[in-house]
Amino acid sequence: MAEEIAVRVADGYFPVETLGPGRRLALWFQGCALACPGCMSRHTWDPAGGRGATVGELLRLWEAALERGAEGLTVSGGEPLAQPLALAALLRGAGRLRERAGGTADLLVYTGHEPGEVPGEVWRALAGADAVVTGRFRVAEPTDLVWRGSANQRLVPRTPLGTRRYGPHLARTYPPGPRVSLRADGTGTGTGTGTETGTGTGTGTRVYGVPARGELRRLERGLAARGLRLTDPSWRP
């Protein structure tokens, strides 16, 4: 059964508004061997980290998010293609639930890989995605293009829905202001996966989005000025 396929995840949250258009369920897969210098999510690198889940469990989060008006699902990481069976099953199931809910919510996947860099059967795990963002994060190549972390990364619509949803954004740049949102455990109202593997402090502060160059340092300074110190930020080696 596809729903019983095991998957390791770092986090899951709804609503996230910084990783694709609209209010989205974001799921972060655990495990990434690409080790991009400057990665903001080093806590997702260890394939044994995060927590174990099943595809069915993630699909139930998606179903609940759709009932609450989710406009899309973003799968990030970590490296989703490091768990291709789970990713393919998740996208297939999410597509079915999306159709049942009216068919307008899109499925976006972030991968650090480029086409041709992984075996075809691994890349085919993206078959159910309406759009993908591909390529390593390169800290020396900043970009203002929305939802991309560095200038080499490409946002590629793969379906008619993906073209409708992402076509208007391919060349759009961020407006001035923050590109990430912050959530402290216990204050969110969304559907979490319950993992304690966060992106910030021991109290489980999470940073969601694609930061501009220097934005995380500014965020740390701003929090420190308000008496909040990040004790173990996931972007520190």
Residues of this chain that interact with ligand SF4 (CB under 6 A) are: 32, 34-36, 39, 41, 44, 77-79, 112, 136-137
Residue number of the CB closest to ligand SF4 reads: 112
Nearer to ligand SF4, 62 or 137 (CB): 137
* Extended strands (E) in the chain: 6-16, 24-29, 51-54, 72-76, 106-111, 131-134, 154-157, 180-183, 206-209
Cβ atoms of 8 and 49 closer than 8 Å? yes
Cβ atoms of 137 and 161 closer than 8 Å? no
Nearer to ligand SF4, 70 or 81 (CB): 81
Closest distance to ligand SF4 from the beta carbon of 8 (Å): 13
CA dist 149 and 147 (Å) reads 7
Bridge partner residues of 160 (DSSP): none
CA dist 76 and 98 (Å) reads 19
Nearer to ligand SF4, 148 or 165 (CB): 148
Closest distance to ligand SF4 from the beta carbon of 47 (Å): 11
Closest distance to ligand SF4 from the beta carbon of 91 (Å): 18
Closest distance to ligand SF4 from the beta carbon of 111 (Å): 8
Nearer to ligand SF4, 34 or 101 (CB): 34
Angle between helices 84-100 and 55-67 (to 10 degrees): 30
The answer to whether the Cα torsion of 37, 42, 44, 46 is positive or negative is: positive
Nearer to ligand SF4, 93 or 200 (CB): 200
Nearer to ligand SF4, 50 or 77 (CB): 77
Closest distance to ligand SF4 from the beta carbon of 78 (Å): 5
Tokens of 186: 């216990």
Closest distance to ligand SF4 from the beta carbon of 81 (Å): 10
